[in-house]
Structure 1
Amino acid sequence: MAIRFPSVVNAKQLLRMKTALNNGRDVPKGCCAVYVGENQKKRFVIPVSYLNHHEFRALLSQAVEEYGYSHPMGGLTIPCREDIFVNLTSRLSG
């Protein structure tokens, strides 16, 4: 017997779908693109509302400490593991 967590599964599917749909670099209104990863960066498209959450702001502070306000990728880059980012965004979407 398996226990399913629909909000977590849906959040992961939503992130994958948004990432797949936005490989052409189009970002839907109300969303922003972020690059996540320690070595290999992966692009995610997230709702702008996530930026106001206190846990997400902690990630943004880490990004400022590591990269400053100017980064060569040109986008918002967050220096954390992908699994940590997916876990956080799945909690925020639920």
Structure 2
Amino acid sequence: MAIRQMLRRSLSSEKRLNEVPKGHLAVYVGQNEKKRFVIPLSYLNHPSFQELLSHAEEEFGFHHPMGGLTIPCSEELFIDLTSHLSRA
């Protein structure tokens, strides 16, 4: 399955949108419109992802009213980064 397909949020039901599998984390990505992605926790250890988290903390803090972390970058940049991490 392609990384784009794995990362795209499912619109099939509200319940599925709120589910986060064990070992994963929900994040919201975007500068204006936020899209929800579910990523493996292992991504949090990668230096490139930690840099994104540092920017997120500076801009938003680590509280998000929707229950996930907001990452202030473009969806394209996020998909490129996660594609790279999934191959590592």
- TM-score, normalized by length of structure 2? 0.84
Q: CA deviation at 1:12?
A: 1.4
Q: 1:15 and 1:71, CA in 2 relative to 1: closer, same or farther beyond 3 A?
A: closer
- 1:26 partnered with 2:10: no
How far 1:23 moved relative to its partner? 4.3
Matching residue within 2, 11, 15 for 2:7: 15
- How many residues end up aligned between the 2 structures? 84
TM-score by length of 1: 0.79
CA distance in 2, matches of 1:15, 1:71: 20
RMSD over aligned Cα, in angstroms? 1.8
- In the TM superposition, structure 1's runs of 4+ consecutive aligned residues that sit over 6 Å from their partners are none
Residue 29 of structure 2 corresponds to which residue in structure 1?
36
Task: Give ranges in structure 2 of 5+ residues lacking alignment.
Answer: none
Larger Rg: 1
Taking only the aligned residue pairs, the percentage that are identical comes to: 60
